[in-house]
Amino acid sequence: MNRGLVTIFVIVSITFFFSGVYITSYEIFPYNVIKNLKNDYLDSNTSNLIYYEDDVKSLIHLDSKSSIEKTRDNLNLFLWNSDSLPKTFPDKIEFDIKDSRYDNVENLESIDKFTITMKHDVNSHSYLFKPVTSNNKLILYHQGHGGDFFNGKNTIQFFLDNEYTVLAFSMPLLGLNDQPIIDHPQFGQMKLISHNQLKFVETDNFTPLSYFLKPPIVSLNYIQENFTFDSINMVGLSGGGWTTLMMSAIDTRLDQSFSIAGSYPIFLRTDVKNFGDYEQTNIKLYEIANYLDLYTIASYGENRKFIQIFNKFDPCCFDGDSYLAYEDDIKNNILNLKSGYFDIYLDDTHKQHKISDYALGIIINSIENDEI
């Protein structure tokens, strides 16, 4: 009797398994019913406004031009041991390189490759995509933890289609960037492949956070010396969105900056998926300027904008509407400062970790028309 029940159970299980595979593969009934139920569940579970801070406004410490400038100087001292940005150029520039991955990209005249060498050989390699027809505006595009900026090829194509020059970066240790082997005196030889390993090369006089910011700064030094763009703007996804925030905070050459799924203040990171890597939670950095202060600095200045875009149904991070906890406080602070612009947009047009067509529309309208 027991053997018979086991046999029936096995047959039923196998039947359900292969039925599920067949339904999923060919999207036949009841595929759409199940999919819609899942989407309805996601739609009803994206309000994740759970936090314990009851005085968000008190966490914003910058309320004047002088306090912003002093904090920016302190950030630079921490990053570079100087109160100003690095003045150097890329260590190597290769003109009109060939990369077959971009052979089918339209309105592309040529690609130049920038190499920036850095401490411990955590070197950076970025591409300057020059359009055939140019509107004389520059976009810095920064990929996130997903890897190579090739993953953002569609975004790069979008900006080329709109006649922008695009300077594209990957995060340290990712994409085309080097993954060196270091010899640590205490822990031995190791290959650097993760941002969380960067703590092992941190010293009293050196912060690995400079690896994230030196490549775009040094590249911009060369750009400003050799081009006369009408505007310089930056767009970043995920970890690239974090880099976009930091760049906008310390480098006032950026006019408008757009961080997509890039960061939350620390007090909102109650979900483990939002906690972040080494760079997102570095205590020494955020004791100088917490995220609310960074949003303020990044937004501040004449004709400057900092805009966050969150994917409502993002499977990676920073989904839902937690940003409501601080949005109005930052907006009001910028209004009181009477210089700059800050805003947040929620993208509910998809359920992926990406820069969507909707987000690109926000970006292009802001840059082209100075409006959203």
With 60 as the cut, is the pLDDT of residue 349 above it?
A: yes
Torsion, Cα of 28, 31, 33, 37 (10° steps): -170
With 80 as the cut, is the pLDDT of residue 207 above it?
A: yes
Tokens read off for 58 = 């008190």
With 50 as the cut, is the pLDDT of residue 42 above it?
A: no
Tokens read off for 86 = 């690095």
**Residue 372, pLDDT score:** 47
Could you tell me if residue 210 is inside a domain? yes
Are 123 and 15 in the same domain? Answer: no
Tokens read off for 209 = 């956070």
With 80 as the cut, is the pLDDT of residue 333 above it?
A: yes
Q: At what angle do helices 291-299 and 65-80 cross, to 10 degrees?
A: 110
Give tens-digit pLDDT for 253-297.
999 999 999 999 999 999 999 999 999 999 999 999 999 999 999
| β-bridge pairing 137-142 and 124-131 | unpaired
Could you tell me if residue 150 is inside a domain? yes
Are 16 and 135 in the same domain? Answer: no
Tokens read off for 12 = 């039923």
CA–CA dist 21, 158 (Å, integer): 36
**Residue 141, pLDDT score:** 98
With 70 as the cut, is the pLDDT of residue 164 above it?
A: yes
Are 317 and 347 in the same domain? Answer: yes
- State the residue for tokens 């340290």: 172
**Residue 325, pLDDT score:** 96
Could you tell me if residue 44 is inside a domain? no
Instruction: Provide the 8-state DSSP code for 54.
Output: S
CA–CA dist 101, 89 (Å, integer): 27
Yes or no: say if 309 and 260 are a contact pair by the CB < 8 Å rule: yes
User: What integer is the mean pLDDT of 328-333?
Assistant: 98
Determine which of 49-53, 61-65, 158-162, 244-248 has the lowest per-residue pLDDT on average. Answer: 49-53
Tell me the torsion sign for CA atoms 150, 156, 160, 165: negative
Residue 38's pLDDT band, with cuts at 50, 70 and 90, is: very low
Are 35 and 90 in the same domain? Answer: no
**Residue 18, pLDDT score:** 56
Are 187 and 325 in the same domain? Answer: yes
User: Domain limits at 186?
Assistant: 55-369
CA–CA dist 275, 266 (Å, integer): 8
Are 27 and 62 in the same domain? Answer: no
Could you tell me if residue 47 is inside a domain? no
User: What integer is the mean pLDDT of 51-57?
Assistant: 89
CA–CA dist 259, 248 (Å, integer): 10
Give tens-digit pLDDT for 70-100.
999 999 999 999 989 999 999 999 999 999 9
Residue 33's pLDDT band, with cuts at 50, 70 and 90, is: very low
Are 31 and 93 in the same domain? Answer: no
Helix, strand and coil content of the chain, in percent to the nearest 5, comes to 45, 20, 40
Determine which of 50-54, 182-186, 311-315 has the lowest per-residue pLDDT on average. Answer: 50-54
Give first-to-last CA distance, the chain, whole Å.
70
Residue 53's pLDDT band, with cuts at 50, 70 and 90, is: confident
Are 291 and 340 in the same domain? Answer: yes
**Residue 41, pLDDT score:** 45
Yes or no: say if 174 and 212 are a contact pair by the CB < 8 Å rule: no
Domain tally, the chain: 2
**Residue 125, pLDDT score:** 98
Tokens read off for 100 = 């077959």
With a pLDDT cut of 90, the percent of the chain lying above it is 84
Mean pLDDT of the chain: 91
With 80 as the cut, is the pLDDT of residue 19 above it?
A: no
- State the residue for tokens 């009181």: 336
Could you tell me if residue 46 is inside a domain? no
User: What integer is the mean pLDDT of 347-372?
Assistant: 93
Please report which residue ranges of 144-265 form alpha helices under DSSP H: 153-161, 210-226, 239-250
Are 35 and 154 in the same domain? Answer: no
- What's the CATH code of the domain at 289? 3.40.50.1820
User: What integer is the mean pLDDT of 14-33?
Assistant: 55
With 80 as the cut, is the pLDDT of residue 43 above it?
A: no
Are 17 and 96 in the same domain? Answer: no
Could you tell me if residue 139 is inside a domain? yes
With 90 as the cut, is the pLDDT of residue 150 above it?
A: yes
**Residue 288, pLDDT score:** 98
Yes or no: say if 146 and 175 are a contact pair by the CB < 8 Å rule: no
**Residue 52, pLDDT score:** 85
Are 33 and 122 in the same domain? Answer: no
**Residue 23, pLDDT score:** 53
Are 196 and 324 in the same domain? Answer: yes
CA–CA dist 134, 219 (Å, integer): 19
Could you tell me if residue 67 is inside a domain? yes
Instruction: Provide the 8-state DSSP code for 353.
Output: S
